[in-house]
Structure 1
Amino acid sequence: MNRLLIGAAVGALLLPASTVLAQEHACLDESCTVMSLFQDVPAVEGATGYQGIDAPKYGTWGFDTAGMDTSVSPGDSFMRYANGAALDRLVIPSDRTSYGSFALLRELSDNRLKVMIESLAARTDLVAGSDEQKIADAYRSYMDTDRIEQLDAQPLQPYLAAIRAADTHDKLAAYMGGTNGRIGASIFGTGITTDQKAPDRYVVSTGQAGIGLPNRDYYLSPLYADKKEKYQVYVARMLEMIGWENPVETAAAIVAMETRIAEAHWTPIENRNRDRTYNEYTIQRLVDEAPGFDWVGYYTAAQLGDVPRIIVRQDTAMPKIAAIYAETPVATLQAWEAFHSVDEAAPRLSRRFSDAQWEFRSRDLSGQPEQRTRDKRGISFAEGALGEAVGRQYVADYFPAESKAKMDELVANLRLALAARIETYEWMSAETKAAAQDKLAKFTVKIGYPDKWRDYSALEIRADDLFGNGERAGLFQWNYQLNRLNQSVDKTEWGMTPQTVNAYYNSTNNEIVFPAAILQPPFFDPDADPAVNYGGIGGVIGHEIGHGFDDQGSKSDGNGVLRSWWTTEDRANFEALTARLGAQYDQFEPLPGYKVQGGLTMGENIGDAAGTAVGLEAYHLSLAGAEAPVIDGFTGDQRFFLGWAQVWQSKSRDDALKQQVATDSHSPAEFRVIGPLRNIDAWYDAFDVQPGTAYYLAPADRVRIW
């Protein structure tokens, strides 16, 4: 299946490079899940994570005071002050690369899905063709290890034969086009997304691809030289396992080709620029400007040969990558395609393949010591194939109606707070303020689950065909995308399932979306102190609203159209503020030599700044003039900031952190906590933070954005 490296054009709570969303989505968490320590489930050495299916509770009023380390000054490390004792007892499970509140809620969601899916798989009375039958059979097929081992690499053989038969550059280009929705890869990635300049229609988007490591830095930076060496060994191992000739020499040629492609790739920071990544092309223009690759054959095989226009994301990279393709011997390109095919198929092949892939992709790249158990992977497979069908049952079992009602109230107060703040900005003209208010008023809010569920009736799932189930699910999704091309954009669709622990902003719909699974402690607890809820889910709401006004989201108007609605002077003032914020994050260093990239994480950092500043003001509005009570000695403002810190309670393995700073648009958790707070005057007042502490900023150096 092609991997379109288009990135997120707006912002989210957390999102990894490996997560595939529409280009206009941006989510809250780098794993599109979330991390924290549940008070009633202390992590211990050898723990395998959260085991329950009931939502956790934090303390008596929504915050775990026993998890604090008050020996640490808030200005030296607010993460440790708020979470130090909890972090000390938190042990990353051996099948995880990070752990904390997001991951624990993801496990809660997984545990609920496990109960649901395993109960379906145990039944014999399911109606043929029903969603329940398909969910059960998807899981059964993954757990049928006897048949999987018996088949070994047999399911992949037709693909390897087809790759060998594609013995010219043009035949291989067509083969790559045909891998959309199927096993295989392409040096270019193609998908169907909402048109950012005409958000009522869909458009084909094509961009750079062709590499097997997380991004270009893994090929070009000495910081990741050891990962590149291990990758070449892995490529040779997989080629040998499928019987490809000269695996060691061929692996070296593949990695050399990918290194050249990586040199042509745009940087992660360049890929964020929505003005640069919207380039209108036709197929003929690509033929003329990026020769050496059979574009006509590629798009025809992808069933896109007659599209009138294509959005090319990295326009200057396309000719370079096409030239590399033309200069590379056919034998190397065939081996490249064979390797990426087996690499993608490995989780659905016998254990020797799935273990080899895990050992490199998870252990060597991210530092994960142990593979997830087979049943956990089976649940993920069933969910991946039938996400909304699984989500429909999840909502019925676990999402109370009152949560949605209370979220509506929180969102309303956040919007009121931002509307009031906009009018106070001295750096913004009345004209731009009016446009910003118009955009804020037009925000759509989605909470919990979609009003219209996905129809899976055309998807065939068989209990005895794991490999085929994956192929049919991929083709089902690709055909779904193809069928949308000549239709109006369906604004009722969701980019995440209800059981996903995350949230996102979609710029082309100008909407903020909060799946059911994130509306639980520590983010949201209907019984918690309001200050903690405003610091938790209020900060998340403000974060997603903030993405509509971050350095990239602010390039679209209230109707979702990519256009400038700023005066030239106001935009310059805004960019000066964002540059100052980026410089602050450039100084953060989670590991020696591995610094946060302020330019890469800019959108998420602005989202965090908005989430905390607007969330605090919304909390004040909710008091309706009354004075906030003091609880356990903590003022309302203190509880708000502690609530924000609690949702980012997490630890990561070193290799995972190294990958995050190179590839992820989200800063590490420690800096999600302190980065925005050190720019808020009220935080200094709440905790008496004085000059001389590690994160103190003089008032003149504090950046106030939204």
Structure 2
Amino acid sequence: MAGANSFAGGGGKLSKEEPKYIDKVNMDLSVKPGNNFYRYANGNWVKNNPVPASKTRWGSFDELRELSSKRLRTLLEDAAKKPARTRKMQIIGDFYASGMDSIAIDKKGYQPIKADLDRLNNITTSKEVLHELNVLRINGLGNALFGMGVGPDRKNVMKYIPSVSQGGTTMPDRDYYLKDDKRSTTIRNAYKVHLKKMFMLAGEDEITSSASAETVLKIETELANAQMSRIQMRDPNATYNKFSVRALTDLTPGIDWAMMLHESKINGADSVLVNNPGFLKKVDNMLKSIPVAEWRSYLRWNLIKNAAPYLSSDFVKQDFEFTKVQTGQKEQTPRWQRLSGLIDRQLGDMVGELYVAKYFKPEAKEYMVKMVNNLQSTFADRIKRLDWMSEETKAQALAKLNAIAKKIAYPDVWKEYEGMSATKDNFFQNVRNAAIWGYNYNVSRMGKPVNRKEMGMTPPTINASYSPSNNDITFPAGILQFPFFDFGADDAVNYGGIAAVIGHEITHGFDDQGRQFDAVGNLKDWWSKPDADKFKSRADQVVKQYNALTVLDTVHVKGELTLGENLADLGGLNMAYEAFTKTKQFKEGKKIDGFTPQQRFFLSWAQIWRNNALPETAAQLILTDPHSPGEHRANAPVTNIDAWYEAFDVKPGDKMYKPKEDRIRIW
């Protein structure tokens, strides 16, 4: 890892040298902090760390992901060759061994899905089309046409309910189907070529595969037209549409939802949540208007695309050819890395248990619990001091803040994966078995009490999250290491790093989406109208600030799409700084390597976001990612914080300077 990687999984030092947590080697001291703080803090690192050929971007998170995947590789290779091993080690070891046996996988070609393709070719009615959607779904072969699963009811979070979501498209965003700018057109044309080549690999001749490709693009474009945009999907009330099973069937007469639920193994449900009823009406009409022969092509494609990463190398290579056009990635990710990621996603608790035992130090969990409590207490003080919120709404906000549950490092109870099996000689079947297990686990929750203890992320994950429906924050073991956190670092580094991340996740409970959920997690308005209006007016200022930021040429950040994350960055950084002011280091004010404690705090924040991305990837992320690019995450929040101006003597005339009255203050 570039820079000062001195942290081994939350514990001991890798080297005897004194680590430099803020390393001037990574900075560009020729840049004035008030002109571009991100470049000042990270300029040399950005210059000296281009995106590796097998990646689409490279930054602090990616360095840790690389470390995490290497650790997973070690664990999986050990499990694959260990003679005396537990059942869980046998499953992940044999799964890994089967995935690394490329010769056996290549010999099989597309045989693992041939029987499914043949079955799909025999469909003759729209009722059979619907039946096959369910067959694919329950057999771990993908969510074609629309998504379906079981989760807590957002307005009654102690109860599970089935939900149906818009879907059915392959490209990352509906804009790729609907827009005619150069980039969208290039990707759409490449997609058509990709479709044809994939159909040919699955046994179709040139003429048939061309027709199949045209059909799939036509159907997916119709579906894209009916989809809500990502910005529209951010409104939790707009996407909460509850129907009785009978009423949903009345809305879409061509789809018998009682049958769909039964065939999808979802039993005992009297109601269904739908995020976009208009989309389902469109699907219903398409089932009547589109010939069954075309639906056969569409279903075959859904089978092929979901299976392709786990079939022979010609499928994997063609899959990557299309990825290259979208993201600019130069080389395929190594097989071992794709596999370790797959097993972590599908059997996260199995590998997570081994990961925590080998690489995680329990003291890091204790430190985090104290730090979260510290940040909660600081945020409570900040809420009490707000000049724009009434006492009545403040009381509700404090009740919600105090109710936030903490999930740190790893789950309280590990999943046992009853019924899951894997062998050394059938990779595709292993993938399928794991997907089937995951699906069955999800739908079997119907009728049971909601399990609020589960973690939504696996322990090796380099990330953190907030769940509105659970009102909880999650910090997997993977993120509890430098540059976010290190026992050896000074408080400024840890507060600018992990404390700001904690503050970020807490603030999500009070961003434009999270604020609409109550202390229990129910979607319920607890705001007075005047307070809600004041919040929206301040949030609109944040939208405006980020809309003005440029990413590529004339491409701007989407302020509405990224609003929740931008609010969380601003709230989290404010919260972490205030908590930092209570520390001994802050009060003593001693410099380290020429930097004051305040400067080290903000530099730590900026170095979290150091990052290089390929231009194609950057363009895709603007459409699909609710997070702003790293440079803007480092720069935009600090321009609203008085302490940053003081720390770096930022004055009028500096490019990032904002007059005091224009600085946005929310939480």
TM-score scaled by length of structure 2: 0.95
Change in 2 beyond 3 A, CA 1:55/1:273: farther
Corresponding letter in the other structure for 1:353 = F
**1:125, CA displacement in angstroms?**
2.9
Q: Show CA shifts across 1:457-482 (max 9, x none).
A: 31011111111111111111111112
Corresponding letter in the other structure for 2:481 = Q
Taking the TM superposition and a 5 Å limit, the aligned residue runs for 1:241-252 are 241-244=201-204, 246-252=208-214
Q: Give yes or no for contact 2:585–2:597 (8 Å, CA) kept in 1.
A: no
2:147 aligned residue? 189
| 1:211 to 2:169 alignment | yes
2:64 aligned residue? 105
| 1:221 to 2:179 alignment | yes
Query: How far apart, in 1, do the equivalents of 2:334 and 2:236 lie?
Result: 40
Q: Show CA shifts across 1:216-251 (max 9, x none).
A: 111112331111111111111111221236111221
| Structure 1 ranges of 4+ moved more than 6 A | 53-59
Query: How far apart, in 2, do the equivalents of 1:652 and 1:554 lie?
Result: 32
**1:609, CA displacement in angstroms?**
0.6
1:342 aligned residue? 304
Task: Select the residue among 218, 239, 249 that pairs with 1:277.
Answer: 239
Taking the TM superposition and a 5 Å limit, the aligned residue runs for 1:663-678 are 663-678=624-639
1:329 aligned residue? 291
**1:59, CA displacement in angstroms?**
7.2
Change in 2 beyond 3 A, CA 1:294/1:160: farther
Change in 2 beyond 3 A, CA 1:55/1:422: farther
**1:433, CA displacement in angstroms?**
0.4
Q: Give yes or no for contact 2:60–2:609 (8 Å, CA) kept in 1.
A: yes
CA RMSD of aligned residues (A): 1.9
| 1:370 to 2:331 alignment | yes
Q: Give yes or no for contact 2:219–2:298 (8 Å, CA) kept in 1.
A: no
Equivalent position SS for 1:406: helix
Identity of aligned residues (%): 37
Q: Give the total of aligned pairs.
A: 657
Equivalent position SS for 1:512: strand
2:661 aligned residue? 700
Q: Give yes or no for contact 1:442–1:510 (8 Å, CA) kept in 2.
A: yes
Corresponding letter in the other structure for 2:141 = I
Taking the TM superposition and a 5 Å limit, the aligned residue runs for 1:230-249 are 230-244=190-204, 246-249=208-211
Q: Show CA shifts across 1:25-46 (max 9, x none).
A: xxxxxxxxxxx843469xxxxx
Taking the TM superposition and a 5 Å limit, the aligned residue runs for 1:294-333 are 294-304=256-266, 306-333=268-295
Q: Give yes or no for contact 1:546–1:611 (8 Å, CA) kept in 2.
A: yes
Corresponding letter in the other structure for 1:587 = A
Corresponding letter in the other structure for 2:129 = L
Q: Give yes or no for contact 2:384–2:394 (8 Å, CA) kept in 1.
A: yes
| 1:619 to 2:584 alignment | no
Query: How far apart, in 2, do the equivalents of 1:249 and 1:316 lie?
Result: 28
**More moved, 541-550 vs 309-318:** 309-318
Query: How far apart, in 2, do the equivalents of 1:657 and 1:59 lie?
Result: 36
Query: How far apart, in 1, do the equivalents of 2:287 and 2:55 lie?
Result: 37
Q: Give yes or no for contact 1:413–1:622 (8 Å, CA) kept in 2.
A: no
Gaps of 5+ in 1: 1-35, 42-52
Query: How far apart, in 1, do the equivalents of 2:589 and 2:136 lie?
Result: 59
| 1:588 to 2:549 alignment | yes
2:77 aligned residue? 118
1:38 aligned residue? 3
Equivalent position SS for 1:509: coil
Query: How far apart, in 1, do the equivalents of 2:409 and 2:464 lie?
Result: 10
Q: Give yes or no for contact 1:79–1:645 (8 Å, CA) kept in 2.
A: yes
Query: How far apart, in 2, do the equivalents of 1:81 and 1:135 lie?
Result: 45
Query: How far apart, in 2, do the equivalents of 1:188 and 1:282 lie?
Result: 18
Task: Select the residue among 124, 128, 139 that pairs with 2:96.
Answer: 139
Task: Select the residue among 17, 29, 42 that pairs with 1:83.
Answer: 42
Equivalent position SS for 2:150: strand
1:21 aligned residue? none
1:483 aligned residue? 444
Change in 2 beyond 3 A, CA 1:520/1:624: closer
Equivalent position SS for 1:204: strand
1:515 aligned residue? 476
Query: How far apart, in 1, do the equivalents of 2:62 and 2:15 lie?
Result: 13
Query: How far apart, in 2, do the equivalents of 1:498 and 1:71 lie?
Result: 40
Q: Give yes or no for contact 1:163–1:337 (8 Å, CA) kept in 2.
A: yes
Q: Give yes or no for contact 2:266–2:444 (8 Å, CA) kept in 1.
A: no
1:13 aligned residue? none
Query: How far apart, in 1, do the equivalents of 2:166 and 2:16 lie?
Result: 45
Equivalent position SS for 2:555: coil
| 1:93 to 2:52 alignment | yes
Q: Show CA shifts across 1:561-599 (max 9, x none).
A: 110110011001001110110111111121013221111
1:166 aligned residue? 123
Q: Show CA shifts across 1:613-658 (max 9, x none).
A: 0010011123498333222221111111101011111100011111
| 1:154 to 2:111 alignment | yes
Equivalent position SS for 2:550: coil
